[in-house]
Amino acid sequence: MSAPKQVTKRRKLEKKRQRKRVTQLKRQKQAQIRRCQPDCLELAATPNAHVEITKMSDVLKDFVRPLAGSADGRDTYERLLWLGMVAWNAALLPECRRAEMIDDLMEQGMRWESAWERQACCETVDRLVARKLERFAGYQRPILAFQLDELGDGDYYLSVASGLVC
C-alpha cells in the first residue's frame, strides 16, 4: 500500500475512534445524570408526592414522530425538529400571539426558501401546534434549543435545552 493511502487510512481510523469516544462520553454523562436524578428528587420531593422525570429530548422526538418517516436524512430531520420546536413554543403562547411568532420565525429561519416552501412549513407548524395542544398539553416547558448529533450507525442523538414552566 502506498504512503498516501496509508495516511488516508490512518486518518479515517482516527476519526472513527474519535466518534466512538464522543459517543461513549455522551452515554457516560447520561448515565451519571440518570443516577443523580433520584437522589436529587428525594431531597426536593415531599413525602407521597408523585414526581415524573421526563427528558424533553424524548418528548420532542415523540412530538414529531408522525412526520419523521418523511425525513430522509440528517438535514431533513433537523429541519423537522426545528419546525417542531417552533410549533411547540408557539402553542405555549396565547392564541392571539401565535400567528405573529410563527410568521416572524419563518421569516428569519426560512428567508432563503421560496414562498411555496414557507407556506408548506407554516401548514406543518399549524398541524404540530394542534398536536401539541391535543396530546402534549401537560408539558409547559419551552424548548430553547436542540442539538442533533450522528452516532455513526445511521441513528441520531438528540439533546434539548428547555426552560422553566411557562
H-type alpha helices, the chain: 3-44, 56-68, 74-92, 95-109, 115-135
> 117 and 68 in one domain?
yes
> 135 and 71 in one domain?
yes
Residue 20 belongs to what domain range? Answer: 1-53
| CB atoms inside a 10 Å sphere around CB 41 | 13
Average pLDDT on 56-65 reads 94
> 137 and 71 in one domain?
yes
> 129 and 110 in one domain?
yes
Domain count of the fold of the chain: 2
> 48 and 67 in one domain?
no
AA letter at 67? L
40: pLDDT confidence band, cut at 50, 70 and 90?
A: very low
> 79 and 46 in one domain?
no
Q: Exposed e or buried b for every residue in 72-102, given b needs 16+ CB within 10 A?
A: eeeeebbbbbbbbbbbbbbbbbeeeebeeeb
pTM of the model: 0.66
> 74 and 47 in one domain?
no
User: Which of 6-15, 41-50, 52-61 is the least confident region?
Assistant: 41-50
> 110 and 77 in one domain?
yes
> 81 and 3 in one domain?
no
| Residue 11 confidence (pLDDT) | 85
- For 35, phi then psi, to 5°, come to -70, -35
Q: Are 88 and 163 in contact (CB under 8 A)?
A: no
What are the distances in angstroms from CA 159 to CA 18, 89, 90, 108, 154?
19, 17, 20, 23, 17
| Residue 166 confidence (pLDDT) | 56
> 72 and 124 in one domain?
yes
> 99 and 20 in one domain?
no
CB-based burial of residue 162 (10 Å sphere; 0-12 exposed, 13-18 middle, 19+ buried)? Answer: buried
> 152 and 125 in one domain?
yes
